Amino acid sequence: MAGKTQGWKLHRNPRTGIYQVRFRVGGKRYHRSTGKTDRAEAQSAAARLVRRVTEGDRLDHAAPDVPLPELIGSWLAGVGAAVSPQTSRTWELYAGTHFIPHFGSTEGLCSERRLQDYMRLRLGVVKARTVQKELSALRSLFAWMVERGLLQEAPAVPKVPRRATGTAHPSGRRKRIVLSPEEMDAIVAALPERTRDGKPCKAYFAVMRETGLRPGTLQRLRAPDDYRPEAPFLKIRAEADKARYEREVPLTARAREVLDEVCPNDGLIFPKFAWRHPLRAAARAAGLEPDRASQVKPYDFRHSVATELTERSGNLLGVGYLLGHRHATTTNQYVHARRRAAEAVLLGQHLGQIDGEREGHWNNVRANSPTSLQCEEQDSNLHALRTLEPKSSASANSAILACGVISDG
């Protein structure tokens, strides 16, 4: 026994209408939410709460006596207007797939020990970044519960350890395909003007190639609200953007030309369409290797444009604005190192300054080299130099020195 109960009484929260119970056990005061708006139901819930405390159960952070699925359903309905539809769908997925099966009850949800267990278990099956997003959703849930009067104090949601990496999915994550500017241009040129059902296909990817906007954002653009013919910019509404980043995106002459050709008088500029077959057929026609052409996706254009613009300008903040990132750290994850950028560094110039001279310069370097080197650009941030001949380490080092990649000092 935890101690003698010294009576309890209900009082109703005038703002939320939910009844709360106050009582003492062993001289310690308790103030708990019943989670009920009906007085009779609240009395039954209060009796159960008092009995559990009296029998020695520890109620972590005063968990309300509400079924967990019902609680989470109310939370998702309550925050729906404050977050994007995509975020709401993601949280609903987290709740149904992970939160409810793991915690089982509202009491389990409010247990700091169970929250720690949840983090450890999830780090064993997914990457740390995914766990961070799930824990962020739980913090939002607890903040809503406190605001609604269902909790007096939110439990401490653990933070993912700084050095934790989590666990990659056994099937692996598809590597991002980084396209060169020439490859993007060739793919766009090979695309059909319209799909079989008449939706603009080439224009959709041409604007994506010029702006780096998210595919979903492009598909939500409307005329005349977001664009009028010959306008110098696109207006991005908060509800059209994943990050709810409202802004005006400047357009290149090519982007304006394409938009003017397909922009309707009213309605969606780029309705959704099945992009997989036309995009990958165009990638094959553009000369991409079969394994790359079979995997290319619209988001690869976004990453590739981010890389190209950053190489040309070195202005990470400006590129982030175009892409719709509020923080430069996010944009930094979109930029992939490439050999052409390394060549620009060795010449002491920005990439944009050497486009006219780089090919001749590096061709001369290779022509004067006693050994042929093949530079292969990888999809990741690492690039490998592989010698074709000769195969001895000494000869390979001589070849690399001849290319000017490293020096004796």
- Cβ-Cβ contacts under 8 Å for 213 (sequence gap 6 or more): 207, 234, 236, 249, 302, 322, 323, 324
Assess whether 261 and 356 both reside in one domain. Answer: no
- 187 domain residue, yes or no: yes
Tell whether 196 and 220 lie within a shared domain.
Answer: yes
Give the model's pLDDT for residue 355. Answer: 54
CB 214 within 8 A of CB 242: yes
pLDDT reported for residue 171: 61
pLDDT at 218: 95
Write down the pLDDT at residue 155.
86
Phi-psi region of 3 (alpha: psi -120 to 50; beta: other; left: phi over 0): left
Between CA 200 and CA 57 the distance in angstroms is: 63
pLDDT at residue number 394: 43
- Of the residues 124, 153, 173, which one is the last residue of a structural domain? 173
Name 278's Cβ contacts closer than 8 Å, sequence gap at least 6. 191, 192, 195, 201
- Domain shared by 304 and 368, yes or no: no
Q: Please state, in angstroms and as integers, the Cα–Cα distance from residue 72 to each residue in 35, 69, 89, 96, 166, following that order.
A: 13, 5, 13, 9, 26
The pLDDT of residue 352 is 57
Same domain, 70 and 43: no
Question: Domain ends where: 155, 173, 191?
Answer: 173
Indicate whether 408 belongs to any domain: no
* 187 and 265 inside one domain: yes
Q: Specify the pLDDT at position 268.
A: 95
Q: What per-residue confidence (pLDDT) applies to 248? A: 95
Looking at the domain assignment, is residue 130 inside a domain?
yes
Same domain, 82 and 27: no
- Could you tell me the CATH number of the domain that includes residue 201? 1.10.443.10
102 and 47 both lie in a single domain: no
Residues of the chain with pLDDT under 50: 1-3, 5, 57-60, 354, 358, 361-362, 365-366, 369-409
Q: Which domain holds residue 287?
A: 181-332
The answer to the question of residue 64 being in a domain is yes
Query: Which pLDDT belongs to residue 14?
Result: 82
Six-digit token string for 127: 């990457």
The answer to whether residues 185 and 220 belong to one domain is yes
Domain boundary (281, 311, 332) is at 332
> What's the total number of domains in the chain?
4
Q: Do 78 and 140 fall within a single domain?
A: yes
